[in-house]
Amino acid sequence: MVLPGPKFSKTDLKKLSSDKISSLFGDLFKPLDQYEHSVRIPEPPMLVVDRILGIEGEPGSMAKGTIWSETDVSSDAWYLHHGHMPTSILLEAGQASLLLFSWLGVDFKNQGERVYRLLGCEFSFYGDSPKSGDTLHFKIRVDGHARIDNIPLSFFQFDCYINEELRLKVRNGQAGFFTNAELANSKGLSWNPYTTMANLSLPFDSPDIHCNDTRFDKEQLEKLFNGNVFDCFGTGFENTLSHHRTPQFTNHKMLLIDEVTDFDIKGGPQQRGYMCAVQYINSNDWFFKGHFKNDPCMPWTLLFEAGLQALAFYMTALGFTITRDGWRFVIVPEQINKFSCRGQVIPSNKLVAYEIFITSVISQPIPKVYADVLGTVDGLPFFHTNIGLQLIPDWPLNKNDPLILNHVETKPNPVINEFKVDYGALLAAALGKPSDAFGNYFKALDNNRRVPRLPNIPFHFISRVVRIDAELGKSSAGGTIEFEYDVPPDAWYFRENSFSTMPFCILLESALQPCGWLSMYKGTIFEFKDDLLFRNLDGLGTLTEEIFPYSGTIRTLVTNKSISKLAGMVIESFKVESFLGDKCIFSVDAVFGFFPKAAFENQTGLPVPEAEKTVLQDASDFFIDLTNPTCQFLSGNIRLPVGKLLMIDRITGFWPAGGVKNKGRLRAEKDVNGKDWFFKAHFFQDPVQPGSLGIEAMLQLLQFYMLEQNMHIELKKPRFEPLALNCSLSWKYRGQVIPSNKMISIVVDIIENGFDERGSFVIAEGSLWVDGKRIYETKNMGMRLVEQPFLQ
């Protein structure tokens, strides 16, 4: 379609925003070049129009007209937030309306004495917010002009499309043109929340958490906008410490509110909630520079943005983001938002207050909050709008992530129902859309459902699926899948271990993570409407050979042996065999379960044996601080693991003649911190300490025992095996460690110790406790000191 009238490029538009108006519009407009004030589109950075495709309307006619414009959402755009264009910038992209006002001749009437200000409009959004790579197509119309109380007015409307899909509709737009005196003498806005009739039949749900703080200073808000929700709100928000990408409202430059001076979920005229956020105005604020030439004022779109940010803060304070890692704030679509303005924010102003009056709260399944926003500048009420804001599901990883794009696959990948199960799909099983992990069959889960996940980097130990002998979506016993893990020679766990051998926790994860993948692939979750959490319950494993940096690829065969379904839960058993080449080096029988969240709320844990009744309270003068980097057990030729791999903070008890066999008992502790690396890695939207790291803590306590007892001194170059080879370890889990817990306690009882032809060894039983509850136990847990097979 060929559009009428002139066309302008981004270069032309930049020229118009700052140069003489006739330089773009021609000689007809030369008389306007003398005026300091004329209607201009903004300068960068607020200039977001990229091109004008055409203009319909007689220049200088003050008649009706139409302009067509486009805006490209580039990947390096300054305003992008998590790859999406903010709502306010989408509104601002309709700024070609100003160009149309100018083209139609408003400045011939204004004679340089009047400046443009928005009086009001109604707008509705459709679909998701624009994303990187989109092009916005605008059709903007000026429908007429008038003069009321000697104030010139122009009336406009516009639509915005992306790929012919409507994304924004603006109607009843009213632009006014004012003298400086008229603006200075504004009486403000008459809207009053206390005289406005409220609809008390609207939904009003309780918050997910009760926040007792009523004020939040700039430092707290900075922490929040940087993604540190817990550091802003404190107790109750521990889960957010493990968020991979916590819901945030804006990028740093777009942050507009400086403090929250009043937060009250029972405030406001109807006791439905009230908040006041303030913005301190500085004459050097970035938005004044480009909006407009010789007429600096804050864009009305950013006033609306500040209201959105305040409402997003309110929703966060209600706890709605705690369990919604990766979700995004977006404006509620297909509702009419009305914006009215009777004032301005200019560099000489000092403070803008954004008062939020809550009208409705919906907590599930998609949290939504509706509110009226009243803005005052230096005490003068000057704008009002209604806003509906919601949280929608999103995922931190997409197909364009560098982790996927930069991966080079050296082997063919299986294809199921035209879906390639490649490395990107495996990463999506950790952090992406379910359909990106398993194909179109799982599109039904690309919503608010929380699905079981694989761990993510750095605790992700599957490189590829090699062979699938199982039916997609068939939740019945049977099926075998072959996986591979390419062992990186420079992996972090080799560096942090006391010797360059793969720690047992890593090998165990490489064997058990495929069980989780197979369980999801079989589609059990589709049979339940409630979210299910996936947990390992029991296992029996025997390690016969170690993994070193040069070992290459671990090949793992996983077979589902049984599936039992009862009372909203599913129990599955697996046979796992891990190979180096054709040699089986690790075999495991494991039991897993799918459980509703409620199953974890009142867990009793494991029974406490009589011999352990007082183990957490028993006095001991023995104490070793492993958080002290100068601790002797963390350095030297033979030491404990360090860095992320060290799973003990301190040894709090050692009774050489204690324990069930009177051969020794040790007790250790680890403080739980929601920022611990493993919560973010295991799992997305379901942070829980891996059981394998609990076993690792017990093994490290055994390593400490062997060093403390000098069981290494007979060896020339001693090192630890990751687990005593050919010693079958059994484990049982009946509880979990989550970010809100406070302390882990580890107890091991020595069952046997001694020396044989390979070196020194110890066999023990272990237990792990969280906040006084016994939740893990191990039997026949062996650790061995042997000679190094080569120089490190």
The terminus-to-terminus CA distance of the chain in angstroms comes to 71
Identity at 149, one-letter amino acid code: D
Closest listed residue to residue 257, CA positions, set 320, 187, 304, 196: 304
Cα separation, 622 vs 624, whole angstroms: 7
User: What three-state secondary structure class fits 706?
Assistant: helix
Residues, the chain? 792
Whether the CB-CB separation of 37 and 178 falls below 8 Å is answered with no
Whether the CB-CB separation of 71 and 136 falls below 8 Å is answered with yes
Residue 773 sits at φ, ψ, to 5 deg, of -105, 130
Cα separation, 550 vs 500, whole angstroms: 10
Whether the CB-CB separation of 343 and 362 falls below 8 Å is answered with no
The structure tokens 């352990």 sit at: 612
Cα separation, 472 vs 462, whole angstroms: 19
Two tokens, residue 40: 């201009």
Q: How many CA atoms lie within 13 A of 717 on its CB side?
A: 7
Neighbours of 237 (CB within 10 A): 24
Closest listed residue to residue 511, CA positions, set 471, 481, 476: 481
Task: Show the DSSP H helices in 532-652 as ranges.
Answer: none
Question: Which CB contacts under 8 angstroms, 24+ apart, belong to 438-447?
Answer: 438/472, 438/520, 438/521, 439/472, 441/417, 441/472, 441/473, 441/523, 444/526, 445/525, 445/526, 446/393, 447/393
Two tokens, residue 241: 């410490």
Neighbours of 19 (CB within 10 A): 14
Cα separation, 758 vs 719, whole angstroms: 12
Strand ranges, E, within 470-568: 480-486, 532-543, 553-566
Neighbours of 142 (CB within 10 A): 25
Cα separation, 124 vs 334, whole angstroms: 6
Catalytic residue among 244, 384, 682, 712: 682
**How do beta strands 259-264 and 151-162 pair?**
unpaired
Cα separation, 114 vs 181, whole angstroms: 10
Q: How many CA atoms lie within 13 A of 343 on its CB side?
A: 22
Whether the CB-CB separation of 237 and 230 falls below 8 Å is answered with yes
Strand ranges, E, within 643-772: 650-655, 665-671, 718-720, 729-733, 743-756, 759-770
Strand ranges, E, within 92-247: 115-125, 135-148, 151-162, 165-178
Cα separation, 280 vs 345, whole angstroms: 11
Whether the CB-CB separation of 768 and 700 falls below 8 Å is answered with no
Two tokens, residue 202: 């609207």
Cα separation, 522 vs 475, whole angstroms: 5
Q: Is 682 a residue of the active site?
A: yes
Closest listed residue to residue 346, CA positions, set 173, 151, 180: 180
Cα separation, 670 vs 744, whole angstroms: 5
Cα separation, 667 vs 650, whole angstroms: 9
Biggest distance spanned by C-alpha atoms of the chain: 104
Cα angle 611, 617, 620; round to 5: 95
Catalytic residues: 682
